[in-house]
Amino acid sequence: MSKFNMTPMNAELEGEKFGVLQAIKPLSDQQSEPDHRELRIDKVGVRNLRFPIQVRDKAHDLQNTVAILGLFVDLPKEFKGTHMSRFVEVLNSHGGVVHVENIPVILKAMQERLKAHSAHLEMEFPFFLVKKAPVSGKEGVMNYQVRFDATLNGSDLDFVLTVKANVTTLCPCSKAISRYGAHNQRGEVTVQIRSDKVIWIEELISWIEASGSSEMYSLLKREDEKAVTERAYENPVFVEDLVRNVALRLNQHPSVSWYKVEAENQESIHNHNAYACIEKG
């Protein structure tokens, strides 16, 4: 018989002995040890963490989706590292679902749990709306990309809402010089805002979609395609027009204190994309 085999009684005694040794000798905490380089780290934490969240929408109160999260804190120069597991502990302590309204509470808990001055949370997720086709009225689900960036620096909270939506743009130059039609393309618009009051995600989406040559839809019948194509032809828009149109709508909203509007047209007849950007505040 091998000398490593043990009877159940011997195994039990060895287990008790091992437990006693563990109790006597605590596990090493490498992260809390001092670092001789004495360099402060601005952000350290976990990224690419998928988690269920609930987002308030204007029509149905709550919408369930899945976000990709990043959670970070600053690290003083005195410490070698942060405790990565504590980020997930803080997140899990707020239940199985993160509510947007809980973000300041989560940030505060991160500050306290990780003994940090600043805490950061980034959250990106798909947001869904049911849209009716313009003529047939057929319903289809549209998805939009939304992002929250929140920072609690001491007691000062900073929150940036980002929404990405697609529109159709038809080239005014092409329409002016061509005998038959005009080239059109998909334009991706990214809007980032800071605001004093809540701005609904749906509001930003509607401002973006009203600024192109035509809205986009997930379901179109032939009569809808005709209407969308003709609407775009009657409303030609350069990429420069697109960002200006969105900016004008943002300027009219008194709660918006800062914004950045970017548009990129995926050109259909050029071997490049067209891009424009406006930032205010």
pLDDT digits (tens, 9 = 90+) for 12-62: 555 555 555 555 667 655 555 666 677 889 999 999 999 999 888 887 678
What percentage of the chain exceeds 70 in pLDDT? 87
Q: Are strands 41-55 and 98-99 parallel, antiparallel or unpaired?
A: parallel
Q: Which CATH architecture has domain 161-281?
A: Roll (3.10)
Residue 76: per-residue pLDDT:
82
What is the C-alpha separation between 206 and 191, in angstroms, rounded? Answer: 12
pLDDT at 83: 83
Q: Which residue has the tokens 């988690």?
A: 51
Do 33-132 and 161-281 agree at the fold level? Answer: yes
Mean pLDDT on 270-279: 96
Read off the pLDDT band of 204 (50, 70, 90): very high
Q: Tell me the fold of 33-132.
A: Urate Oxidase (3.10.270)
Q: Could you count the other beta carbons within 10 Å of the beta carbon of residue 269? A: 9
Domains of the chain by residue range: 33-132, 161-281
Q: Among 23-27, 60-64, 112-116, 239-243, which range has the highest average pLDDT?
A: 239-243
**Model pLDDT, residue 15:** 56
Q: Is the pLDDT of residue 6 over 50?
A: no
Dump pLDDT digits (tens) for 78-87: 877 788 899 9
153 vs 159: CA distance, rounded Å:
11
Nearest to 257 by CA among 281, 221, 229, 233: 281
CA distance from start to end of the chain: 79
Report the length, in residues, of the chain: 281
Residue 259 has pLDDT above 90, yes or no: yes
Q: How confident is the model at residue 150 (pLDDT cuts 50, 70, 90)?
A: very high
